[in-house]
Amino acid sequence: MTIIGKRLETAISLLKKCRNNEIFADIGSDHAHFAIEASKRGIARSVIASDINKMPLEKGRENAISQNVDMKFIISDGFDSIENEGITSAAICGMGGELIASIVLRSQTAKKCDLILQPMSAAEELRKALWDNGFEITDEIFVVENKKPYTVMRAVYTGINTEYTYIDLYLGKKREKTDAFVYYCEKVLNSAKKRRLGIIAKSEPTDEIDSLISECQMQTINF
């Protein structure tokens, strides 16, 4: 039996909220733990695990066989080799935010299905890319795993760009007041303080970074 952490459990909880899980794809599936759980729990009728590298995909295949899970395994760079699979929902978890954004923006399939996204870094770059290119972040949940804070998002394409503030980029628009969110704010705060020093060194305005620092401080103090 596979034991998955809070990040993937949260991603699974958002996958259950997707509009259509008839054909689910786990993009960059690594050892396919997420994909296997989606199948075992009956969340998706048909499951595809894809990865750009052959070795982790083969390990995923072994994991699926050992757990009697029937699913497809396809070598693919993002959605590139699975654009014609009729995917209705997809997950891209455990990558940097900029890489996730590039995978989403170059795919037509990504515009047709619900997306579960879990960036390991640069979440602000992912939010910006989504909002600037017609995607709505319908859900965002903050979690802590191994003493590190993360965010997990569900996004859908609407064709309408989203307005946002500098603070929204770093904290999202769905700010549920939880221990995990406060922990996330502390991480953003520490990073912002360091960036502010660089901005001052360049003699550039600090208004935006100051607003973010103030918001993070307020969130951590008032919780």
Taking residues 80-99, what's their average pLDDT?
Answer: 97
Domain 6-164 belongs to what topology? Answer: Rossmann fold (3.40.50)
**CA dist., res. 207 & res. 196, Å (int):** 10
Encode pLDDT of 144-171 as tens digits: 999 999 999 999 999 999 999 999 999 9
Q: Is the pLDDT of residue 3 over 70?
A: no
Dump the DSSP string for 160-188.
Answer: -PPP--HHHHHH-S-----HHHHHHHHHH
What is the pLDDT at residue 223?
61
Taking residues 14-33, what's their average pLDDT?
Answer: 96
Residue 209 banded pLDDT, cuts 50, 70, 90: very high
What is the pLDDT at residue 211?
97
What is the pLDDT at residue 4?
81
Integer angstrom CA distances of residue 98 from 46, 67, 105, 114, 132: 28, 33, 11, 19, 14
Q: Is residue 47 within 8 Å of 26, Cβ to Cβ?
A: yes
Residue 220 banded pLDDT, cuts 50, 70, 90: confident
Q: Where are the domains of the chain?
A: 6-164, 179-222
Residues 36, 156, 125: CA angle, nearest 5 degrees: 90
Question: Considering the entire predicted model, what is its pTM?
Answer: 0.96
Relative to beta strand 135-145, strand 114-121 is unpaired
Q: Is residue 51 within 8 Å of 94, Cβ to Cβ?
A: no
Encode pLDDT of 93-104 as tens digits: 999 999 999 999
What is the pLDDT at residue 104?
98
Taking residues 126-137, what's their average pLDDT?
Answer: 98
Considering the chain, what percentage of its residues have pLDDT values greater than 90?
95
Dump the DSSP string for 86-99.
Answer: --SEEEEEEEEHHH
Rounded to whole angstroms, the maximal C-alpha distance in the chain is 61
Integer angstrom CA distances of residue 36 from 9, 14, 43, 96: 12, 16, 10, 22
Relative to beta strand 114-121, strand 148-157 is antiparallel
Integer angstrom CA distances of residue 216 from 48, 125, 170, 199: 39, 18, 10, 18
For the beta carbon of residue 31, count every other beta carbon within 10 angstroms: 20
Encode pLDDT of 43-67 as tens digits: 999 999 999 999 999 999 999 999 9
Residue 2 banded pLDDT, cuts 50, 70, 90: low
Taking residues 116-124, what's their average pLDDT?
Answer: 98
- 121's enclosing H/E stretch is strand 114-121
Orientation angle between helical segments 123-132 and 97-105, nearest 10 degrees: 20
Q: Is the pLDDT of residue 78 over 60?
A: yes
Q: Is the pLDDT of residue 1 over 90?
A: no
Q: Is the pLDDT of residue 6 over 70?
A: yes
